[in-house]
Structure formats: structure tokens, C-alpha cells
Amino acid sequence: MKAITFHGVGDVRAERVPDPKVVDPTDVVLRITTGAICGSDLHQYHGRGGTLVETGAVMGHEFMGMVEAAGPEVREVRVGDRVVAPFSISCGRCEWCLRKLPTQCSTTGRAVFGGRFGKVFPGGQAERIRVPFADYLCEKVPADMSDEDALFLGDILSTGYACAENGSIRPGDTVAVFGAGPVGLLAMQSAQLFGPARVFAVDRVGYRLALAEEFGAEPMNLDRGDPAAELRALTGGRGPDVVLECVGHEVPFTQAIEAVRAGGTVSSVGVYVEPSMGFPAREAFFKDLSLKMGICNARNYMRPLLPLVRNGKLTPARIVTHTIGLDEAPRGYAIFDRKEDRAIKVMLKP
């Protein structure tokens, strides 16, 4: 089959690789109908945190498709079902999965599709994929829902929603979101469900800030000054009640802590690939703030968020800017990375 493989910094290629097969009795193989390129794929593309995937590995963890083959112990999903899976691979049975922390699964060692943590499973920027623990991981998609609406349940919509939920936004709050990429934009959509009075969007990319405005946010170009100081100035000197960090770098993380009001909440979902970074401990301590950060347990959110998408309360498909074939994926990575051609979310059709 055709797949996107990793060959080094800035080098992904469409290549032929062996077809996946059912290996364990609880596996399915999906024929992928839609995949996507995630901001997390860009960390690998940049070579951040060392090489996270091996040369030749199949990339990608955002995918959905039709069940083409199922192992003998798969009970809930059947050949022909249309399903979406979360980005992380978990058994559904270990202590961590039972604690509703499936990203910490001890059976797979925190595995992620297309990643090299724990057990290695090829990714979803491909024509087909092997999905282990299929009964636990696969969420059936109603026939009247488009791929564009369903796909993001497995990663960035669940992540954006979890980020907003972890911010403990109350009606009337002021919220600031660092990052107006796919995750930040969906965090803004999700934040609106909690009834904030104001939402600020901080980024430097004009066309992304313009979409943030359509999602009810007030745009702030971070290159015009210190966004933390500007956010405090715009909130009577006190700072936003809640700051959502959706970038994954030290600077916006620090600014989120500097911006938030005393006793406020910083919720961070940006991926920190390096083992450590600076942390403004004194500021955080004297502010008495709450901090929640971490990888998203997307499996927990897929089922509850699906009806919100189906009923139009969340409209994730609005961030899609490009739909291209697998052969064009190297260009898709380049424009998504460089913010060219007004790229926000690049979808891949095998």
C-alpha cells in the first residue's frame, strides 16, 4: 500500500510499504477514508526532542475508515463498519485504562499510532492501518456524519475540548487562548460552550486569527508586544480568569502563567517534546494558580462529543483548508508547517 514515511528533518515521502494484517485476535484492519496532518507530526518533522520515529516509519495518528478485516475475538465492530479511533493505543483493561487514563496504558507502554513510545504501531497517513484492541478503540460513526466532522474526535477536537474543560471556565469568565492552530481553534469553539464573556486568541498568523474571530474570539497579534502584558491591560490589570495554552513551547507556556489572574487556571495541551524547560515558579506560586497539563485521553471524549458535532454545537470541519491525496502529503506538511497557502488543517485522502 501507499503510506507517508519519515526520513529525517523536513523529509517525509509517499512510498510503498507492506499492507497491514490482523496480528492479534482483537485487531482490525481499516481501509482509511480520511487522514490528516497534526501539529504533533510537525514536532517529528522538525526533529524536536530527538528523533521520535524511526526512518521509514509510517507517520500519522489522525485517521478513520471502514473495517476491512477483523480478528476472531473482535465482538463490537464488524467488517464494513465505519469507525474513528483515538491517536493513542490502549487496551481498555489495565489499571490505567480502568482509571480513565488510557494514554497511560501499561499494556502498550503509552503507545501512539505512528510514534515510538512503548510498542510501535504504524501510523494512519496510509491506505490501511492495523488497529489493536478494536472493540475498545473504535468508535462507530453515524452514516449521516461526514469524515470531516468525525475525524477530529480522535485527536484535536477532543484535545481542544479537554483543554477548555480543564480550564474550569465559568459563565462570564475571560479566557485567553495561546495558539490559533487547529487545536487552539477547536479549544476556542469548545470554550464557548462554557459561557465565557470574552475570549482572546493569541497568534501571529493573520488568517488563523481571522478564523478565531469567526469563532467569537478577539484576535491579538503576539508580535505587537508582550501578549501577557496586553492581556492584563485589556482585563483591567488583573489578567484573564483562564488561559488555554495550545502551542507547545516554553515562551507561550511562560506567558500563559504571566497572563492569568491571581487564583486563575492555566490549562496546557501543547506537546513539550524536550525533557525540561523553564518554568516561572515564583510567579505561579505567588499567584496561587491552578495548572493542568497533559496528553489528551481522547478515548474518553469521543462518545460524549459526537452528538455535539452532529447537532452543530461544535463545527470542527470549519478548520479544514486543504484536502489532498497521499502523493501530495509532503507538500501538505510543508504548507502546514510554513503557514503557506492559508493552511490550517490538511486532510489526506488515500
Interface mask (CB under 6 A) for ligand NAD, residues 21-60, using x and -?
-----------------xxx-xx-----------------
Which 3 state secondary structure label does DSSP give 307?
helix
The answer to whether residue 183 forms part of the interface with ligand NAD (CB under 6 A) is yes
Rounded to the nearest angstrom, the gap between the alpha carbon of residue 90 and the centroid of all alpha carbons in its chain is 17
Question: Does residue number 20 form part of the binding site for ligand NAD (CB under 6 A)?
Answer: no
Residue 240 as a binder of ligand NAD (CB under 6 A): the answer is no
With binding defined as CB under 6 A, does residue 178 bind ligand NAD? yes
Question: Applying CB under 5 A, which part among 9-17, 149-157, 186-194, 240-248 lies near Zn ion?
Answer: 149-157
If one asks whether residue 188 binds ligand NAD (CB under 6 A), the answer comes out as no
Residues 282-301, mask of contacts with ligand NAD (x by CB under 6 A): -------------xx-----
The count of residues interacting with ligand NAD (CB under 6 A) is: 32
Q: Does 156 bind ligand NAD (CB under 6 A)?
A: yes
3-state secondary structure of 331: helix
What is the contact mask toward Zn ion in residues 19 to 38, using x (rule: CB under 5 A)?
-------------------x
Which residues are within 8 A (CB) of 304 and not within 5 positions of it... i.e. 6 or more apart?
none
Q: How far is the CB of 104 from ligand NAD (least distance, A)?
A: 12
Contacts for 247 with CB less than 8 Å, ≥ 6 apart = 178, 179, 181, 184, 253, 270
**Using rule CB under 6 A, residue 179 touches ligand NAD:** yes
Least Å from the CB of residue 70 to Zn ion: 26
Tell whether residue 205 is a contact of ligand NAD (CB under 6 A).
yes
Whole-angstrom distance, CA of residue 82 vs CA of residue 261: 45
Environment class of 147 (CB within 10 Å of its CB; exposed 0-12, middle 13-18, buried 19+): buried
Tell whether residue 332 is a contact of ligand NAD (CB under 6 A).
no
- Rule CB under 6 A: choose which of 90, 159, 189, 265 binds ligand NAD: 159
Determine if 257 is a binding residue for ligand NAD (CB under 6 A).
no
CA quadruple 150, 152, 158, 164: dihedral positive or negative?
negative
CA-nearest of 233, 290, 291 to 263 is 290
Compute the CA torsion angle 137, 269, 210, 48 (nearest 10 deg): -100
Q: Which of 5, 26, 40, 268 binds Zn ion (CB under 5 A)?
A: 40
Cβ distance 255 to 238 under 8 Å? no
Determine contact, residues 348/34, Cβ cutoff 8 Å.
yes
42 binds, among Zn ion, ligand NAD, none (CB under 5 to 8 A by kind): ligand NAD
- Tell the smallest beta-carbon distance from residue 252 to ligand NAD (Å): 4
Instruction: Indicate whether 336 belongs to the interface with Zn ion (CB under 5 A).
Output: no
The CB density around residue 122, as the number of other CB atoms within 10 Å, is: 21
∠ CA 202-208-214, rounded to 5°: 90
- Quote helix, strand, coil % in the chain, to nearest 5: 35, 20, 45
Which residues of the chain form contacts with Zn ion (CB under 5 A)? 38, 40, 155
Which residues of the chain form contacts with ligand NAD (CB under 6 A)? 38-40, 42-43, 155-156, 159, 178-184, 202-205, 208, 222, 246-249, 251-252, 269-271, 295-296
